A and B are shown apart, each in its own frame.
Chain A
């Protein structure tokens, strides 16, 4: 695992600056006490980059180890074996998103077989709630990031557009659990949705144009009205009230 060792080095390099950048963690960092072990340095570093609090990172790390069986990395099988996920219709897409390189703030595309804790956190950080202190621009950026995540989830072949085939697949799986809707209807729904996108985004299509799929810009456009900031996030373990507010990350 050359990859992970590099990461550790990087983390260590950052941890030197950690004391300076750590002020964001503020109270939590102070509460941590004096015993600054290396892993905590690393956590601090992660906290700065993902916006999670140390407490949350600890909890997530515990969960990560639980899932991976105390390994450094986690694989798809690990995630698929979570019993609660068994009922989720879009399980495949979500697990896929964890291993999607595009969600790791990297420029590469494709998916990896295994991810470390850092990547795990990166994906999780898409679901961080905003706080009172986040400014409008930050919110906009967050929204974009979330949208990007969603988009990547739909765009399974990584080519930057959601084609009808891809979209149909998601919709079919999404509706498969509701039982009442047949596959045909699901297909039709996907088609109708696709047409909707096409007609909103390309109002004046020439005769030579062909709508080949939803690009990210179109995706953004069509979901403009969708309340996202208040929806797409979850509460990361709220163990006690002091750490609750550490979810705020001001940069």
Chain B
């Protein structure tokens, strides 16, 4: 509701905005000024600058004409951005009507307002602006994020559609329109056959911008997507050639055309298409080479990608080659290498900026397409011409797609299915490229230019709005195979690799040189030469796909870990409060504490299970109920040992007494605990000594960090981890025994002069300590923090006199490796069934290598690797045993 309310408000705002921008030039009373308003402004501006006689120093001068052009550009970008903001805020609308259609409609409204104010369309989509400033970044972005394997795997089909399909569209449309004209369907029009063909060629091409905009929202399967999308990108070469050739033919006139000219035209197609592509490849390689050596200027290295990409486009334009093909292949060829060569920050920057540019200019294009319509000048209505064009475009697209697919299916390994063909033919969207080309037509040679522009616009609206809106229901209705939405899992990635190698092998065995064989050879070539030349040495390693997925999973894991650590601090606090309350209430002795310890373990289980628990405000209050209810939730998505842990919690019901205490005090606690945690983190995350140097640098990000500081943090963390590693080594051999000793030691270690009550407290504290130790290494690894002090301050709050004593309190506990410590914690107090106890070590040892290796990716690999190996050696045996058990 609130969202909807925004729209009228926004409209009023935009009215004001446009009035102020356009109205200043042509004062609000809107007298019918000549159309050459801008030139009038220009001369006015010059006068203003000449500023004849200065009578005094003006305090404020209003110099609109001084800033007009950049100001208007900036305002338009802002308007387009705000339009998108408003449109995207209404999800229920964008689900039905694609964003591109909405933007065009918004353009209509805006155009109407401008028209109302000026009585002339001041702002139109100008071909120069479109082709030079709006289109390149969109195409560069698509090229850069092109799924290469898919694209090249279907290149043959894409080329057939792009080349033959486009030629077919152009020729059939031109000829049919001409035929209808001859038949007298359009009345009196001054258009010859060549003009018709020219018109056909400009409107034949499927538009990449429109296609992306619509297909992005319907997630069709990837093969279908790449076919439509690839076609829309690659047919530009054909369009440019056809357009140029027919334009030349029109200038030459009918008799000037002979066989030589036609052959020249065909040759020029190959030159334009392949020349453009190779130029793009060359620029792509240049970018790759350049990024190999830019490690010292990290800040500006993303700029190279954009500038060189743009240069690829301009160079192609200069040489009259296909600029779209050029920039596409530039993006396609460099993506792999620049992603590997550049710093991760730079890669993200490139990605992000690319998207900002592409999305921004896409928005502007659609808005302007809408605005361009509101212009009396271009509206020349000719029912026959317009309707026939719409009809023929639609019909010939279908015929073309079905015929070409029929031929292709005879050769394709995996045939394109019928419904896919339907979507393909329906997805023949025309867009701004056609409009730009139409606007480029020479009015002196083509008398009916305005009719053509008008028809082109109508075709664009028809395809983008109507077909765009109906695309989604159609896809749903035909049950087109959709792309899988889920993230690629590691095992799938591995399976992909298996496929690759297997298919090559089978081809080898069957003695054929097929697609896979070629790809394999290319991969080998690339591995051997391209990578060596174009990639940094250090970058070659992390390029592997499987490794990337693995790395990503690890990162996620680590992030979860940090989140959990934060959570466990809160949980521990709760436990401490409970214990505190228990003591204050005068309930003494071990009984209460013993009962409290399952609580620790259940919380522990909860911690691993779902973090949802944290967010739920009432979670603590009816903890018991929730715990039982939530069990399926908790267990979902957890691996074996986790499950074991939390299920044990189920066996022992949470004691209700301590929970009641909880209930009473929880509210106050929760208010405090956020502040406290924050404070603690602030206090104890390690900071360098010289932290308050704020320096500014344009060329480095982390200028405020000192080399030594990093070093110091590293060393501290390293020491910390080394300690836990050492203990891991000791702890592995006899985990159970040690943990029992730890308990006993604990009791003996009680300092003199303390009451038994306090000794019990230490016992509980011991658990607390272990618990955090388990997390500490994880936290230290990912956050580089120093976890011990945190624990200290908790104790302090709970009434322990000497916080400094705590870290040394329990040397044995520290010797227990994190995973075993947790197992012990889970296992000891609740005393699981005999069988579960038997089983647990094997489960854990299965998990252990993963946990460790998950961390071994960071800089502490050396420290953990031996431990990992040690665990690995043990792992197979128990897993075998378990396998026979079940």
Contacts and interface: CB of A to CB of B under 8 A. Distances in A.
Contacts of B835: 208
A165 B873 CA distance: 11
Contacts of B411: 238, 241, 244
Contacts of B695: none
Contact of A164 (B417, B540, B876): B876
Interface residues on A, range: 35 or more
Given A88-B504, A210-B882, A192 B647 contact: no
Per DSSP, chain B at the interface is: helix
Nearest to B857: A185
B839 A226 contact: no
Interface in A197-251: 197-200, 202-213, 222-223, 225-227, 229-238, 241, 244-245
A215 to B, nearest CB: 11
A180 interface: yes
Instruction: Give the one of B413, B514, B635 with max A CB within 10 A.
Output: B413
A63 B511 contact: yes
Contact of A90 (B498, B637, B836, B856): B498
A222 B491 CA distance: 8
B678 interface: no
B91 interface: no
B637 A203 contact: yes
B490 A192 contact: yes
Contacts of B635: 203-205
Contacts of B644: 205, 207
Contacts of A84: 508, 517
Contact of A85 (B491, B505, B550, B865): B505
Contacts of B853: 184-185, 187-188, 191
A94 interface: yes
A223 B495 contact: yes
B498 A174 contact: yes
Given A94-B502, A127-B503, A208-B835, A195 B516 contact: no
Given A94-B501, A191-B853, A205-B635, 20 more contacts: A88-B504, A89-B501, A98-B509, A132-B409, A132-B415, A175-B546, A184-B865, A187-B849, A188-B849, A189-B490, A193-B491, A202-B640, A207-B833, A210-B843, A212-B882, A212-B883, A225-B484, A225-B486, A233-B503, A234-B516
Contacts of B875: 164
B839 A207 contact: yes
A163 interface: yes
B44 interface: no
B414 A229 contact: yes
B721 interface: no
A115 B853 CA distance: 42
A166 to B, nearest CB: 10
Interface string B549-592: 01001000000000000000000000000000000000000000
Given A184-B865, A204-B632, A87 B524 contact: yes
Interface string A152-185: 0100000001011100001100110010110011
Contact of B640 (A87, A129, A209, A244): A209
A232 B502 CA distance: 9
Given A94-B505, A187-B849, A150 B495 contact: yes
Given A150-B495, A184-B853, A189 B512 contact: no
Interface of A: 60, 63, 66-67, 79, 82, 84-85, 87-91, 94, 98, 124, 127, 129-132, 150, 153, 161, 163-165, 170-171, 174-175, 178, 180-181, 184-185, 187-189, 191-193, 195-200, 202-213, 222-223, 225-227, 229-238, 241, 244-245
B638 A124 contact: no
Contacts of B885: 210
B509 A82 contact: yes
Q: Which 3 A/B pairs are nearest by Cβ-Cβ distance?
A: A188-B853, A212-B883, A180-B541
A203 B413 contact: no
Interface string B836-864: 10010011001101100110110000000
30 contacts: A63-B510, A79-B509, A90-B501, A94-B509, A163-B883, A165-B880, A174-B498, A175-B497, A180-B541, A180-B544, A181-B544, A184-B853, A184-B865, A188-B849, A189-B490, A196-B490, A205-B638, A207-B832, A210-B640, A210-B843, A210-B883, A210-B885, A211-B640, A225-B492, A227-B222, A229-B414, A232-B503, A234-B510, A235-B512, A236-B510
Interface in B626-656: 632, 635-640, 643-644, 647-648
Contacts of B221: 227
Nearest to A154: B498
B223 interface: yes
Nearest to B545: A178
Contacts of A245: 410
Nearest to B511: A63
A223 B846 CA distance: 23
A159 to B, nearest CB: 9
Interface of B: 221-223, 409-411, 413-415, 417-418, 484, 486, 489-492, 494-499, 501-512, 514-517, 524, 540-544, 546-547, 550, 553, 632, 635-640, 643-644, 647-648, 832-833, 835-836, 839, 842-843, 846-847, 849-850, 853-854, 856-857, 865, 868-869, 872, 875-876, 879-880, 882-883, 885-886
B397 to A, nearest CB: 21
A195 B879 CA distance: 13
Given A180-B541, A193-B490, A232 B833 contact: no
A141 to B, nearest CB: 17
Given A164-B879, A211-B640, A226 B850 contact: no
Contacts of B504: 88
A79 B843 CA distance: 40
Contacts of B417: 132
A66 B876 contact: no
Nearest to A94: B505
Given A127-B503, A132-B409, A207-B832, A161 B883 contact: yes
A174 B501 contact: yes
A189 B546 contact: yes
Contacts of B516: 234
Contacts of B839: 207-208, 210
A185 B490 CA distance: 13
Instruction: Give the one of B486, B517, B854, B883 with max A CB within 10 A.
Output: B883
Contacts of A185: 547, 550, 853, 857
B542 A180 contact: yes
B610 to A, nearest CB: 13
A89 B839 CA distance: 36
B832 A130 contact: no
A212 B882 CA distance: 6
A183 B294 CA distance: 32
A77 B546 CA distance: 31
Contacts of A193: 489-491, 494
Given A124-B510, A187-B853, A244 B547 contact: no
A195 B883 contact: no
Contacts of A238: 411
B541 A188 contact: no
Nearest to B884: A212
A1 B687 CA distance: 79
Contacts of B410: 241, 244-245
A196 B417 CA distance: 33
Contacts of A205: 635, 638, 640, 643-644
A210 B878 CA distance: 11
Contacts of B509: 63, 67, 79, 82, 85, 94, 98
Nearest to B514: A235
A206 B832 CA distance: 12
B514 A234 contact: yes
A87 B886 CA distance: 39
A231 B876 CA distance: 33
Instruction: Give the one of A63, A212, A234, A244 with max B CB within 10 A.
Output: A234
Contacts of A195: 639, 847, 850
A188 B550 contact: yes
